[in-house]
A and B are shown apart, each in its own frame.
Chain A
Amino acid sequence: MDNIIAIFLEEASQAVESWEQTVLELESNPSTENVQLLFRIAHNLKGSSLSLGLKDFGNFIHKVEELITKIKNGALNITKDSISVFLEVESALRDWVENLPGNSNYKPDTTVLESRIAALADGEDIKAPAERAPEPEEDEGIVFNLEELAKLQRASEERVKIVEKSNNKKGAEEAVRVALSKLDTLLNFVGEVVLNYKFMERFREEGNLGTQVAEAALAQLGKAVNEVQDVALTLRMFPIAPHFQKMQRIVRDLSTSQGKEIQLNLVGQEVELDKMIVDALGDPLTHIIRNAVDHGIETPEEREASGKPRAARISLEAEQKESHVEIRISDDGRGLNKERLLKKAREKKLISFDQKLTDSEVHHLIFHSGFSTRDVVTDVSGRGVGMDVVKKAVEALKGSIAIRSEEGRGTTFILTLPLSLSIFKGLVVESNNERYVVPVTQLKEIVDLSRAKVESHMGREKIINLRGVLLPVRSLAELLGRRTTETEATKDHLPSLVTQSSTGQKMTIRVDRVLEEQSVVLKKLPHKLEGLPGITGATILKDGEPAIILNLSELLEARAAYAS
């Protein structure tokens, strides 16, 4: 693949994104600016593709450009049909751009689309083929609904893409576009570091290390180094906006095809996350939203009957908290049906018949693999792609997911994600004379066992009563398969970390000491050690010693599996 073509394709993908955004805006606001914008995108794409010899691509865009020109000149109005056509163009372009790298002669079949474009341009009133009475030919038995076909094709492509994406990640060098201002700031700070370092060198030469002046210079150097680190990390951070906006299209398509009225609210689009996280969030977010539309939102009639406004509201919010980002997807739909979930779980033998679960635990059942409350699989939610896939994806990003739901009122999914994959706030704890790090996003609170009531349960497991809720207590040393230095006497006075296991149940984990909270830089474990349960990586503590970074809920799960 030619380098130039690779660059063109990158710009083309950006163009396709802008195209979609602009078309959606055009739908709600058919202003001249938006038409102009659309024209410019098409025009630029046409120009670059033709100049690179991509004739088919260029010619296709040319036809689209002609249509836009007619609209620009006022010869044509923007109609629902033209918007639909533009969106189909976007799909075709997206497909094209994705497949060109693999096959430089790739050309999707755009004949039908092109004829619709031509028809529109000629001022013909084109309705979606389904609404036009087909003229049956003698030997034709089946009439195709092209829109349905396109949708089905897209849905199956998405599924294939999910698999392909994970295969494609390795190999090709990924690149990102970075704001120049960020780079300039970084270079500035690097300059400061170099300057301060030279000062230190001079101090050393003159034998003046340790003097007050030298100490001051060292402090400056430290500050400059921190600034470099901060900015360097932001180079990988990108706003979540594009993904949020993708959801608009998805909600629009889904609500149209299901006859539901849905309004999507986006909040906090400017919140930035590490690029890898942002990219990996696309699929889980899409899945949650699809789930919400498919299962959660009622038809307008149902809503009216229950006193709700016809149009359902889904809100997608991102909020930056101190050391992490919270993404909330809430709808005002049906909410989760506890009875149905319990019934399904019992049927699938996930829980025993007399097992008592809190509301939260019932809700978290949907994260269990093999759990799908719709036995009739629609192509919208995908075959067998359950919420457990979403949970795994979120946890792979070192985040966590929780649900809050109220029957009849709605459901909220809360995703908690670290700001960056490589640096995060961690709590350093000590167990059995070894130090470990736990990311703070996993901790609900820290409890001093000597203050909480420790009870014995079945003689073996310890339980504490934390504000009325009974929580099991496990020892970290034991979870890690280590001998413990705890004695019967000390056991009940140790600090404990309260975390939430993957089943939504809170648990407490005893450690010997809680040392401090510090910013931790994630280091990958030696390759051969990847996949150890409960261990996400390593880091180097302030004193130069390596420490293991734990994933408590994973550790608990693994231990449970081990025991069984």
Chain B
Amino acid sequence: MQAEITDTSTVNNQSELDDRYLVFRLGGELYGVALDTVREVMKRAALKRMPFVVKHFAGVMNLRGQVIGVIDLRLKFGLPVSTEGNELILVTELGSGLLGTIVDDVVSVAQYDEGQIDRSTKIESKVPTKFLKGIAKSDDTLVYLIDLTECLDSEDLRAVSAAVRKGA
């Protein structure tokens, strides 16, 4: 199901943004990311692979003249690589700039209040607890809420040892 994605910059009520999530599907599960980090959603475009980077760095792409990196979350979470080819790319704005994430499909924009979110640390899931902010329950569905900054922004994408790296 394709949902209409509104431009997040038109939402001016901060507290509304705080508990709104963009829900997407990946490898059969549903995940949610804070809506205020999502800039746009686009069809998967040609990615240019880069040497010396970790496996789940899918490559770089041209976003209206800017070169941004794109991560394959499936590979990061250890899921099998998708063969469908009609995935979407979530363009998010994190601390260090824009970053793209490949997802299978974008489902909806949802709002969850605290009561719906299970933040206990004993959750078992494919997602390492470091990235998992909690699990939202809505009707019968479970949505894993992930922290994109922790997940994408905090790691070193370079697969080169420090000795070989420039400036070391």
With a cutoff of 8 Å between Cβ atoms, the chain B residues found around residue A533 in the complex are 52, 160, 164-166
Chain A residues near B139 (CB-CB < 8 A): none
Q: Which residues of chain A (456-476) have a CB below 8 Å from chain B?
A: none
Q: A531-B158, A545-B62, A546-B48 are in contact. Are A526 and B165 (CB under 8 A)?
A: no
Question: Is there a chain B Cβ closer than 8 Å to A235's Cβ?
Answer: no
In contact, A528 and B156 (Cβ under 8 angstroms):
yes
B-facing residues in A141-173 (Cβ within 8 Å): none
- Are B164 and A526 in contact, with the CB atoms below 8 A? no
- Chain B nearest CB from A24 CB (Å) reads 37
A524–B67 CB distance below 8 A: yes
* Complex contacts, B155 vs chain A, CB 8 Å: 528
Contact of B96 among A434, A527, A540 (CB under 8 A): A527
Interface range on chain B: under 10, 10 to 19, 20 to 34, or 35 or more? Answer: 20 to 34
A218 to B164, CA, bound (A): 48
Contact segment of A322-330, A337-345, A554-562 = A554-562
Decide yes or no whether A190 CB sits under 8 A from chain B. Answer: no
Q: Is A187 an interface residue (CB 8 A)?
A: no
Q: Which of A518-564 contact B (CB under 8 A)?
A: 523-529, 531-533, 535, 538-540, 544-548, 554, 558, 561-562
Residues of B within 8 A of A535 (CB): 50-52
Q: Provide the B94-116 mask, 1 if CB < 8 A to any CB of A, else 0.
A: 00111100000000000000000
CB pair B50–A532 under 8 Å, yes or no, is: yes
Q: Is the interface of A mostly helix, strand, loop or mixed?
A: mixed
* Chain B residue at minimal CB-CB distance from A532: B52
Residue interface mask B126-168, A partner, CB < 8 A = 1: 0000000000000000000000000001011110100111110
A558 touching B48, Cβ below 8 Å: no
In the complex, number of A-B residue pairs with CB atoms less than 8 Å apart: 84
Interface string of B65-108 (1 = CB under 8 A from A): 11111000000000000000000000000001111000000000
Chain A contacts for B167, CB-based, 8 A? 531
The answer for the CA separation of A539 and B62 in the assembled complex, in Å, is: 9
Which of chain A's residues has its CB closest to B46's CB? A545
Contact in complex: B97, A434 (CB < 8 Å): no
Q: Residue A481 at the B interface, CB < 8 A?
A: yes
> Pick the contact of A529 from B61, B66, B69, B153 — CB < 8 Å?
B69
Q: A546–B157 Cα gap in the complex (Å)? A: 18
B55 within 8 A of A: no
B60 within 8 A of A: yes
Known: A532-B53, A535-B51. A525 touches B67 (CB 8 A): yes
Judge whether B43 is part of the interface by a CB distance below 8 angstroms: no
Known: A533-B166, A535-B51. A528 touches B62 (CB 8 A): no
Of B99, B156, B166, the contact of A526 (CB 8 Å cutoff): B99
B119 interfacial contact with A, CB 8 Å: no
Alpha-carbon separation in the docked complex, A546 to B46 (Å)? 9
CB distance from A529 to the nearest CB of B (A): 6
Partner of A547, one of B48, B66, B157: B48
Within 8 Å CB of B52, what residues of A?
480-481, 532-533, 535
Q: Using a CB-CB cutoff of 8 Å, which residues 316-370 of chain A contact chain B?
A: none
**Chain A 103-124: CB-based contact to B (< 8 A → 1; otherwise 0):** 0000000000000000000000
Contact A544 B62 (CB under 8 A): yes
| Also in contact, A538 and B51, with CB within 8 A (given A527-B97, A528-B156, A544-B62) | no
Taking the complex as formed, is A204 at the interface, i.e. its CB lies under 8 A from any CB of chain B?
no
Taken together as a complex, chains A and B put the C-alpha atoms of A544 and B66 apart, in Å, by 11
Contact B166 A528 (CB under 8 A): no
Q: Which chain B residue has the least Cβ–Cβ distance from A482?
A: B51
In the bound complex, residues from chain B placing their C-beta under 8 Å from that of A523 are 65-67
Distance, CA A548 to CA B165, complexed state (A): 17
* Residues A528 and B69 in contact in the complex (CB < 8 Å), given A545-B62, A546-B61: yes
Chain A to chain B: the 7 pairs with minimum beta-carbon distance, closest first: A526-B69, A527-B96, A480-B51, A538-B67, A523-B67, A546-B48, A528-B157
Given contacts A526-B99, A533-B165, 9 further A-B contacts (CB under 8 A): A523-B66, A524-B67, A526-B67, A528-B96, A528-B155, A529-B69, A532-B166, A546-B62, A548-B51
Report 12 cross-chain contacts, Cβ distance below 8 Å, ordered by A residue. Answer: A525-B60, A528-B157, A529-B50, A532-B160, A533-B165, A535-B51, A535-B52, A540-B67, A545-B46, A546-B62, A558-B164, A558-B166
